[in-house]
Amino acid sequence: MALTMRMLNGKSSVVAGAALPASRRAVIARVGKTMSGKEVPPSPEASAGDEVYEYLKSCPGVSAPFENVFDPAGLARTSNLRDIKRWRESEITHGRVSMLAALGFIVGEQLQDFPLFFNFDGRVQGPAIYHFQQIGQGFWEPLLIAIGVAESYRVAVGWATPTGTGFNALKDEYEPGYLGFDPLNLLPEDPSARKELQTKEINNGRLAMIAIAAFVAQELVEQTEIFEHLFLRFEKEAILELDDIERDIGLPITPLPEELKNL
């Protein structure tokens, strides 16, 4: 009798599960079990998403204050591993270019009056966003050749041959960002030390991307050089502090120069 009741209960559970709406059955399937208690294998989409997140967790660049994968827009959930690796390559490359650009902004603006700098006729001056327009012939040709050689080497090392199903993809064995270029032999052999150094590079690259965007925006708006902008801010704050002291002790207020009023 007990065996008959268990069989009837099992049958009724299956029938009840089949009678559920499709949306309910889908929710149950995603949880991992049917109404009858049978295990349901994960969907291919869920497996692909888990694979992407496990890959991202293993990559350099995961650091405080975000100890897990920082993906507020959920881009990794809708992408495959091939796209994630390509985006990773793009992030590292843009970070390296941004570090060079941020350094170039500061150095270029400070050395534009130095005789040994590429400014023999004194044409290059003012904010760095206008330096390229002021440079004459003899600079662009070597620059374009250098960029072409560097990009050709990067493509040869990391990018797969374009095919109908594998267009715009990296090689399976290629580690994004690792081009084998280490003339100073700075990359450690120890895996943990190597990952730590790569994390520092990526984090500095991320900061540099934000910094160079801020440099460009600031110079477009205020038409002043980076350090000039900084020192003018300091000067304005010092005068305002002095005004407060003068106001407290009853002395005449130091007027704010015209060029500082709009800062």
Encode pLDDT of 243-252 as tens digits.
888 888 888 8
234: its two tokens: 């300091």
Mean pLDDT confidence for 55-71: 83
pLDDT of residue 13: 40
pLDDT of residue 193: 93
Q: Which residues are documented as binding site for chlorophyll a?
A: 91, 94, 200-201, 204, 206, 218
- Residue for token digits 């149950």? 28
Taking the CA atoms of 159, 100, 215 and 74 in sequence, report the sign of the dihedral they define.
positive
Q: What is the pLDDT of residues 127-168, one digit of tens each?
A: 888 888 887 777 788 989 999 999 999 999 998 888 767 678
pLDDT at 24 over 50: no
Give the C-alpha distances (Å, rounded to integers) separating 40 from 13, 14, 46, 242: 16, 14, 12, 73
pLDDT at 232 over 50: yes
**First-last CA distance in the chain:** 89
Beta-bridge partners for 33: 39
pTM score above 0.85? no
3-state secondary structure of 159: strand
pLDDT of residue 223: 86
Spatial neighbors of 99 by CB under 8 A, at least 6 apart, are 204, 205, 208
pLDDT of residue 15: 38
Percent share of the chain, pLDDT over 90: 22
Contact 33, 25 (CB under 8 A): no
Between 116 and 57, residue with greater pLDDT: 57
Q: Which residues are documented as binding site?
A: 53, 91, 94, 96, 200-201, 204, 206, 218
pLDDT at 36 over 60: no
- With cut-offs at 50, 70 and 90, classify the pLDDT of residue 81: confident
pLDDT of residue 123: 72
Q: Give the C-alpha separation, 170 to 163, whole Å.
A: 12
Q: Side chain identity at 132, as an amino acid letter?
A: F
Mean pLDDT confidence for 41-69: 73
Mean pLDDT confidence for 163-187: 84
Q: Which residues are documented as binding site for chlorophyll b?
A: 53, 96
- With cut-offs at 50, 70 and 90, classify the pLDDT of residue 11: very low
Phi and psi at residue 99, to the nearest 5°:
-65, -40
Between 117 and 215, residue with greater pLDDT: 215
pLDDT of residue 92: 94
pLDDT of residue 140: 83
Beta-bridge partners for 39: 33
CA dihedral angle for residue 20, residue 22, residue 26, residue 27, rounded to 10 degrees = -60
